[in-house]
Amino acid sequence: MFIAIDGPDGTGKTMLSKLLVERLNEKNLNAIYTFEPTHSPLGLKIREIIKTNGNPKVVLDLFLKDREEHLETFIRPAINEGKIIVCDRYKLSTVCYQENPEQSMEKLIELNDKFVNPDIYFVMYFDEKDVDLVFERIESRGTNPDVYDTKVWINKVNRNFKEMSSHYKNLTFINTNQTVEEILSQMISTIETYFQNVKKRMYEV
Ligand code: TMP
């Protein structure tokens, strides 16, 4: 099973993805955490480039190559072993972050169509009035910021993520303005419903 968790920076994706993996493993569900950009040489190159204003076409190409390699070498084999993969960022990040006048959302969606859709895709978002809170979270990390870590950018990216509902089916949107426990229980109940539906379909055959 393949679960992705996506959304703007500062919405708690990484912490939530790791906690979700822990909770699933407590239920003996054999879950593993992974992330994009990865820690492969390609992924590390991306992390360097996005600290500066890299050429958008080059950056886009690197994200797509990193995703392809991640799927082939890590995600697919793990799915085949029956694991639950929880991937921190996936294709919607490319559509929402790499969008610009030369790289339309439609084009970016098309470029990502070759990559499998997750069974469950959680999309974190925030209400625009909460942008200061989200930005504070980013600043409090104390890590080297990348070019996407500005309020204007985060608002734009957040709007892009919200718009994804008109481009993709079956996204589960989660407002970051809730407690961690509330968010986790929403995630677990979405996963349980998914399993129940799979079971129902098996008995129908
Ligand atoms: P991280 O903060 O989740 O480690 O991700 C690093 C940055 O990479 C983050 O600002 C979002 C950006 N990103 C893209 O711009 N496009 C993508 O396709 C992915 C996976 C990440």
pTM of the predicted model as reported, rounded to 2 decimal places? 0.95
Determine which helix (DSSP H) or strand (DSSP E) holds 90, and give its type and residue range: none
CA distance 113 to 58: 19
Percent share of the chain, pLDDT over 90:
86
- Predicted confidence band at 51 (pLDDT cuts at 50, 70, 90)? confident
- Predicted confidence band at 62 (pLDDT cuts at 50, 70, 90)? very high
Number of domains in the chain: 1
CATH of the domain at 41: 3.40.50.300
Mean pLDDT of 140-161: 85
State phi, psi for 141 to the nearest 5 degrees: -65, -30
- Tell me, in angstroms, the distance from the centre of ligand 1 to residue 19's CA: 20
149 pLDDT higher than 80: no
- Tell me, in angstroms, the distance from the centre of ligand 1 to residue 46's CA: 9
* Residue 129 structural domain: 2-204
Q: 193-200 long-range CB contacts below 8 Å, 24 or more apart?
A: 194/1, 194/119, 194/120
- Any idea what the Cα angle at residue 47 is, between residues 44 and 53, rounded to 5°? 140
CA distance 164 to 112: 13
- Predicted confidence band at 150 (pLDDT cuts at 50, 70, 90)? confident
Task: Give nearest CA residue, ligand 1 atom 2.
Answer: 9
Whether 17 is in the pocket of ligand 1, judged by its Cβ within 6 Å, is: no
